[in-house]
Amino acid sequence: MSEQYDVLVIGAGPAGYVAAIRAAQLGMKTACIDDFIGKDGKPALGGTCLNVGCIPSKALLDSSKQFHNLTHGFESHGISAKDAKIDVGAMVGRKDKIVKQFTGGITSLFKANKVTAISGFATLKANRVVSVKDAEGKSTDYSATNVIIATGSQPIELPFARFDGKHIVDNAGALDFSETPKRLGVIGAGVIGLELGSVWKRLGAEVTILEALPDFLAAADADIAKVAAREFKKQGLDIRLGAKLGKAEVGKKGITLTYTDSKGEQTLEVDKLLVAVGRRAATKDLLADGSGVKLDDRGRVEVDAHNWTGVEGVWAVGDCVRGPMLAHKGSEEGIAVAELIAGKAGHVNLDTVPWVIYTEPELAWVGQTEAQVKEAGIPYKTGSFPFAAIGRAVAMNETAGHVKVIAHAETDRILGVHMVGPVVSELIAEAVVTMEFKGSAEDLARIVHAHPTLSEAVHEAALAVDKRAIHKAN
């Protein structure tokens, strides 16, 4: 007889581990299965986010920002440092320590909540039996009343630029360079390309980003994308749009990229190549015959609005299902499913999932872009306010960017908020709360915002929707 659980979670990333903790909190006998092996050769919980994604990239973004400020940003404060150096090994070591602290933290949380961690690769069979193959190749079956699939996603590989871990790398490889590459090529000007491109640019690499689409950051509101493009250009990031890679040949002196753009065929020599062209659901070998779970045409697990797969007791959450591939979206789905299993209410509003890009300046948004609102034929009005007119931003010497609020022209309900500027990753939370409460621009405009803070830009942008911003001409 296989061991029986109330809830078996497949995957210990931010969707899976959070689902497991919540299920255990609700009194269910829970286990969480994961096959990730950390840099020290031992199983590590936390999935992509903690091991090779959100947390380590933020560690490197912060280190590289400190170095860049020291070498380029502090002069206006009257601070100078001669011969500033960066020890890339020490920087990566700090990142590894942070990763270990957080993955170890999940192990402790599992113990505290009595979640059993099982290491190995899981396959879902019929009747909620999960077969787990461990590192030695031994398979053990477990069964459960409920199974939550949270297997996450994997980087998409280009057939003509395969990852070799040395010259051509994915996000994980670009977190572990032993020294700053002289010339770094990046394929894809998306979230990963911009964040990791920024890290190595700040440390002195020549960074060229090839983006297939003709528009920069097509998913973002055009106004904030425009500011971001201008600022990244000033920083020396060479972003080439409409550039379609044809070949990447590894030679003795580096990698020769052949791509076509509006001017025809071009070549580019780089020392390292990061391919960041998106991710796909990690569902390969997940489902055995008879599991009953269906995949869509993009390999994602099919689910309804409540993350149910249509098979009794089988649910799926996070990057392996529809919706944005964002850690916080997965975590909320994990909590919602655990609560639904326990007979409680659980729901995630995909319309108010915030997006953040941790470049300098940062980008953050929630809700619809102006182009989407226009396309939908919704009557709307907008208000924006620049950080250059915010005392705190000027004191910080971080004045690039603005906040833009889009509201319904008749009801004043907020439809979207878009920001580019200092620490907007934190400012976006206010917009999410307001939208979740179906708030209006007037609601935001009537809330007291502390002075002097960056949040005053949100307040003033909301006032500007009604042409009554105080610190700019309307």
Taking the C-alpha atoms of residue 385 and residue 381, their distance in angstroms, rounded to an integer, is 14
Tell me: cis bond preceding 361? Omega within 30 of 0 counts: yes
Q: 295 pairs with which residues across the strands?
A: 301
- Cβ 251 to ligand NAD, closest distance in Å? 21
Contact 291, 125 (CB under 8 A): yes
Q: Does residue 328 carry a catalytic annotation?
A: no
CA distances from 422 to 167, 390, 399, 406, 454 (A): 34, 11, 8, 20, 8
Of 293, 295, 266, 469, nearest in space to 386 by CA: 469
Using CB under 6 A as the binding criterion, the count of chain residues that bind ligand NAD stands at 24
Q: Which of 59, 203, 325, 435 binds ligand NAD (CB under 6 A)?
A: 325
Residue 279 lies near ligand NAD (rule: CB under 6 A) = yes
Which token pair is 333? Answer: 């789905």
Catalytic residue among 72, 306, 347, 451: 451
Instruction: For residue 432, state whether it binds ligand NAD (rule: CB under 6 A).
Output: no
Which residues between 212 and 231 bind ligand NAD (CB under 6 A)?
A: 212-213
Q: Would you call 123 helix, strand, or coil by DSSP?
A: strand
Which residue, 72 or 244, has its beta carbon nearer to ligand NAD? 244
Shortest approach of ligand NAD to residue 246 CB, angstroms?
9
**Single residue of 17, 358, 365, 380 touching ligand NAD by CB under 6 A:** 358
**Per DSSP, which regions of 310-411 are E strands?**
314-316, 355-357, 362-367, 380-386, 402-408
Strand partners, 308: 315
- Residue 189 in contact with ligand NAD, rule: CB under 6 A: yes
**First vs last C-alpha separation in the chain:** 72
If the CB atoms of residues 213 and 378 are measured against ligand NAD, the closer one turns out to be: 213
Rule CB under 6 A: choose which of 24, 32, 149, 191 binds ligand NAD: 191
Q: Which residue is nearest to ligand NAD (CB)?
A: 190
The contact mask relative to ligand NAD for 141-180 (x = CB under 6 A, - = no) is -----------------x----------------------
Residue (210 or 445) nearer to ligand NAD, CB: 210
CA within 13 Å, CB half, 71: 15
Which whole-number Å values give the CA distances from 355 to 57, 62, 220, in the listed order?
Answer: 16, 19, 9
List phi, psi (to 5°) of 330.
-65, -45
**With binding defined as CB under 6 A, does residue 193 bind ligand NAD?**
yes
Q: Which of 34, 35, 211, 333 binds ligand NAD (CB under 6 A)?
A: 211
User: Which amino acid, one-letter code, is at 186?
Assistant: V
Instruction: Figure out which of the listed residues 10, 15, 192, 461 binds ligand NAD, where binding follows CB under 6 A.
Output: 192
Residues that bind ligand NAD (CB under 6 A): 158, 187-193, 195, 210-213, 244-245, 276-279, 325-326, 356-358
- Residues marked active site are found at 451
